């Protein structure tokens, strides 16, 4: 029986072609597992209730998700062919949609099935799912009553946010002058399509040669980074900003807090300022795409020893075990 296996990317200069590799046999007839590669395979995208080639995955230019960033999304990881913490992500997706009065045309059970079908159709065993719900097409105006047919779009593909050496050596982060959205203006609990706040801070980071930026809230307190939650370790206590600091309560953040408590660590959600990070023993970030990644420098100041610390390493190892179902 032939099953879909890995997806291989072959780079010819500026052109990247996606090829399908199909597992053929692991029997004694062959000296090693045999894969056949070479047939070009188009990425399949779920849209309007169907799986279509990515070139055919299109939305209207009048969709309010495109015109105004009016919609919500989730990012979910796939490990060993298993969608990781799917229930938690689906629950947050529907809560975000409810908060902006966006009615999703699928039930949570149907959404879960659609995600699994999209992952399977693309042969993803290690990858990332981007789940997007847009308001739908409407008029050139903000009135949601003049929109119709909310769109459900699911993309499943491979991802590599940071190079492997950064998990070994740690990140250097810079504080952005762009502050985190005020919670009274846009609730950080809504994972909305409008990510301009984060993008502006990310631009500041890349302009200084860093990959990630720390964002403060209007009170000057530590909120989060552009795509990740932040933790510090001080005197054996794990600390992270509370929800009222203006953070998105990350799914990975919650998982890591649970792992830390299982390891016997005291975990505190407390208001912090940059000074607390400067004098911390350790620092790391968590996120769906980033997983758990050490931070060794903030604003040119070495954090702790300047290398990933023992608590960070232990939690990273525990997370690796959790994600693989160990």
Indicate the pairing of strand 237-240 with strand 266-269: parallel
Pair 184, 267 in one domain = yes
Spatial distance between the Cα atoms of 87 and 107, rounded to a whole number of angstroms: 13
The CA distance from 218 to 299, in Å, is 19
In tens digits, the chain (326 residues) has pLDDT values of 334 444 333 333 333 344 444 333 333 333 333 333 333 468 999 999 999 999 999 999 999 999 999 999 999 999 999 999 999 999 999 999 999 999 999 999 999 999 999 999 999 999 999 999 999 999 999 999 999 999 999 999 998 889 999 999 999 999 999 999 998 999 999 999 999 999 999 999 999 999 999 999 999 999 999 999 999 999 999 999 999 999 999 999 999 999 999 999 999 999 999 999 999 999 999 999 999 999 999 999 999 999 999 999 999 999 999 998 86
What pLDDT does residue 326 have? 65
User: Do 93 and 220 sit in the same domain of this protein?
Assistant: no
Residues 107 and 170 reside in one and the same domain = no
Q: Are residues 191 and 317 in the same domain?
A: yes
In a shared domain, residues 317 and 170: yes
Annotation says 191 is catalytic: yes
Residue with tokens 């004694």: 28
Nearest to 311 by CA among 269, 275, 263: 263
Q: Catalytic pick from 191, 202, 239, 323?
A: 191
| Res 325: pLDDT | 85
Which is nearest to 172 in space by CA: 293, 297, 303? Answer: 297
Within this chain, do residues 124 and 191 fall inside the same structural domain, yes or no?
no
Domains identified in the chain, total number:
3
Same domain, 186 and 293: yes
Range of the domain at 307: 164-323
Tokens (6 digits) for 94: 């529907």
Of the candidates 136, 157, 178, which is a domain's last residue?
157
178: domain CATH number? 3.20.10.10
Could you tell me which residues come within 8 angstroms of residue 8 by beta carbon, excluding any fewer than 6 positions away?
A: 18, 19, 21, 37
């Amino acid at each position: 029986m032939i099953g879909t296996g890995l997806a291989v990317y072959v780079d010819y200069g500026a052109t990247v072609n996606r090829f399908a590799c199909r597992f053929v046999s692991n029997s004694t007839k062959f000296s090693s597992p045999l894969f056949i590669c070479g047939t070009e395979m188009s990425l399949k995208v779920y849209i309007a209730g169907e799986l279509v080639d990515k070139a055919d995955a299109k939305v209207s230019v009048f969709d309010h998700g495109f015109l105004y960033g009016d919609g919500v999304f989730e990012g979910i990881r796939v490990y060993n062919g298993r969608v990781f913490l799917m229930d938690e992500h689906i629950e947050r997706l529907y809560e975000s949609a409810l908060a902006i009065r966006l009615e999703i045309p699928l039930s949570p059970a149907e959404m879960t099935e659609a995600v699994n079908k999209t992952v399977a159709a693309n042969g993803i065993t290690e990858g990332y799912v981007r789940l997007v719900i847009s308001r739908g097409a409407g008029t050139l105006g903000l009135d949601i009553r003049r929109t119709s047919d909310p769109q459900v779009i699911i993309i499943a593909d491979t991802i590599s946010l940071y190079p492997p050496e950064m998990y070994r050596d740690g990140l250097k982060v810079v504080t952005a002058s762009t502050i985190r959205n005020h919670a009274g203006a846009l609730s950080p609990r809504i994972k909305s399509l409008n990510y301009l706040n984060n993008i502006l801070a990310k631009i500041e980071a890349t302009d200084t040669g860093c990959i990630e930026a720390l964002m403060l809230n209007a009170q000057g307190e530590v909120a989060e980074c552009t795509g990740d939650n932040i933790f510090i370790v001080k005197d054996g206590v794990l600390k992270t900003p509370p929800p009222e600091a203006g953070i998105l309560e990350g799914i990975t953040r919650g998982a890591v807090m649970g792992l830390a408590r299982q390891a016997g660590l005291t975990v505190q959600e407390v208001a912090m300022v940059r000074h607390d990070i400067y004098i911390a023993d350790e620092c790391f970030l968590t996120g769906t795409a980033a997983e758990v990644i050490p931070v060794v420098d903030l604003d040119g100041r070495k954090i702790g020893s300047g290398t990933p610390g023992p608590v960070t390493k232990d939690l990273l190892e525990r997370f690796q075990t959790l994600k693989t179902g160990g």
